[in-house]
Amino acid sequence: MRISVIGCGYLGAVHAACMAKLGHEVVGIDVDERKIADLSSSKAPFYEPGLEELLREVQDSSRLTFTTDMAAAAGSDVHFICVGTPQKKGENGADMSYVDASLFALLPYLQEGNVVVGKSTVPVGTAERLAGLVSEQEPSAHLVWNPEFLREGHAVSDTLQPDRFVYGVPDGSEDHPAVGRLDEVYSAPITAGTPRLVTDHATAELVKAAANSFLATKISFINAMAEVCEATGADVSRLADAIGLDDRIGRKFLNAGIGFGGGCLPKDIRAFMARAGELGADQALTFLREVDAINMRRRTRVVELTREICGGSLLGQRITVLGAAFKPESDDVRDSPALSIAAQLQLQGAVVTVTDPKALSNAARRFPELQYEPDFASAVQASDALLLLTEWAEYRNLDPYDLGSRVSSLRILDGRNVLDPAKWRAAGWHYRGLGRP
């Protein structure tokens, strides 16, 4: 099939490459000329494992091109909208200006029987509104809402082998003509057994908001347990192992630590609350305020614990922060808890150095006042305290004996609970985890 993908960020660039991998002829369209220039030469504009290799593979076969010209969408059967919906400045709601602008730019190029597929995370009610605009322009065209569930760091495999597909069509019916078209697009994973659910527009939009809210709630739940563990001397990691063995609960997403960040969970729960408020259903989601508050409290807790392990004052203490990305295998620093903690420590008088294998240039753009050191050995040299805040494999596998000879004081705060406390203590370190004795 001929496919256009509008918006080539974290979602769209991966989606375009994966659709070409599935055998389609794809054009990726974005207003950002630099991004398009990078992608055209098979360079990923952000770090995502496997993406550059995939771009090279599908571009060698000429199935994938990139352009800034929306006219290139003309002639495609299916148009995916993959632009961002960031949090509005000073408000909880989602900024819909990129979705609206991309749809308006696409409308003149729609042709008979085309299917427009929304993948961006949007407030419930958006699909119905956009469907009206699509059918006004081209009555035979359809709009489907097909939320995306990929995780950064696993984006390629999550797109090629997702857990499920959700198609939101106006009447929620399997017989809607757009269902068959989308089945053709995803024919390889569907044949391989990926479940596919057809719903109405609103349900499909809500599936995405509900899934991310559930994940955020699971993380804040275990972080709330960490607070109680801290008050009692119990161990939240063992608690998570034990409750996670109940398969109704499950162990995934029960890692207590500095909390969730990134470009999705924090802004999605806020946008969901804002939308529920507009719909008069705000009471249903007041618990998400608590989820958000627990999450934010972790960051303050880490600042306090750092002060404690530094002997009561942060003034002049040389702190090395290991990790700037919001999670490993990503260079994304949007709402990164690690960077937010680093900035708070610096404001309170510590001398902070941040290191990260991939995210330092993005971090420096967002927090130019912090000091960044790409070389690990230089970053930890003469450090008074280490804070492990993003669990990259190289930090999880650090050798406490080797590291001990390079720092100035043997103090480590494990913000992701990924180190073995007994091993670090045996090597002479003052080890602190979160919610661990």
Closest to ligand UGA by CB, 76 vs 87, is: 87
Binds ligand UGA by CB under 6 A, chosen from 55, 150, 160, 198:
150
* 418: contact with ligand UGA by CB under 6 A: no
Maximal CA-CA distance, the chain: 72
* 260: contact with ligand UGA by CB under 6 A: yes
The catalytic position among 8, 18, 82, 264 is: 264
Binds ligand UGA by CB under 6 A, chosen from 151, 251, 366, 406:
151
Gyration radius of the chain over CA positions: 23
* 255: contact with ligand UGA by CB under 6 A: yes
| Count, residues near ligand UGA per rule CB under 6 A | 22
Find the part of the chain contacting ligand UGA (CB under 6 A) among 112-120, 193-201, 263-271, 379-387.
263-271
Rounded Cα distance between 393 and 419, Å, is 11
Closest to ligand UGA by CB, 178 vs 418, is: 418
Rounded Cα distance between 427 and 401, Å, is 6
- Which residues between 282 and 341 bind ligand UGA (CB under 6 A)? 326-327
Closest to ligand UGA by CB, 110 vs 219, is: 219
Give the N- to C-terminal CA distance of the chain in Å, as an integer. 57
* 249: contact with ligand UGA by CB under 6 A: no
* 148: contact with ligand UGA by CB under 6 A: yes
Decide: 39 and 60 in contact? Cβ < 8 Å: no
Decide: 377 and 406 in contact? Cβ < 8 Å: yes
- Which residues between 8 and 47 bind ligand UGA (CB under 6 A)? none
Joined together, the tokens standing for residue 140 give 């035979």
* 169: contact with ligand UGA by CB under 6 A: no
* 395: contact with ligand UGA by CB under 6 A: no
* 2: contact with ligand UGA by CB under 6 A: no
Closest to ligand UGA by CB, 134 vs 266, is: 266
* Residue 346 exposed, middle or buried by CB count within 10 Å (0-12, 13-18, 19+): buried
* 73: contact with ligand UGA by CB under 6 A: no
* 431: contact with ligand UGA by CB under 6 A: no
Rounded Cα distance between 6 and 194, Å, is 25
CB of 99 to ligand UGA, least distance (A): 14
CB of 186 to ligand UGA, least distance (A): 16
| 264 classed as catalytic | yes
* Residue 195 exposed, middle or buried by CB count within 10 Å (0-12, 13-18, 19+): exposed
Binds ligand UGA by CB under 6 A, chosen from 194, 253, 277, 366:
253
Binds ligand UGA by CB under 6 A, chosen from 14, 27, 115, 219:
219
Find the part of the chain contacting ligand UGA (CB under 6 A) among 12-20, 109-117, 247-255, 356-364.
247-255
Binds ligand UGA by CB under 6 A, chosen from 59, 87, 114, 212:
212
- Which residues between 111 and 130 bind ligand UGA (CB under 6 A)? 121
**Under 8 Å CB-to-CB from 42, ≥6 apart: which residues?**
52, 55, 56, 59
Rounded Cα distance between 144 and 153, Å, is 27
Closest to ligand UGA by CB, 109 vs 395, is: 395
Exposure string of 285-317, with b = 16+ CB inside 10 Å and e = fewer, is beebeebbebbeebbebbbebbbebbeeebeeb
Closest to ligand UGA by CB, 145 vs 326, is: 326
Decide: 111 and 37 in contact? Cβ < 8 Å: no
* Residue 369 exposed, middle or buried by CB count within 10 Å (0-12, 13-18, 19+): exposed
Joined together, the tokens standing for residue 196 give 């596919």
- DSSP letter, residue 364: H
* 94: contact with ligand UGA by CB under 6 A: no
* 261: contact with ligand UGA by CB under 6 A: yes
Give the three-class secondary structure for 67: strand
* 355: contact with ligand UGA by CB under 6 A: no
CB of 213 to ligand UGA, least distance (A): 11
* 84: contact with ligand UGA by CB under 6 A: no
Place of tokens 């097909």: 146
| Cα 430 → chain centroid | 32
Taking alpha carbons only, the member of 358, 357, 360 closest to residue 342 is 360
CB of 382 to ligand UGA, least distance (A): 29
Residues in the site for ligand UGA, rule: CB under 6 A?
121, 148-152, 212, 215, 219, 253-255, 257, 259-262, 264-265, 268, 326-327
Catalytic residues: 264
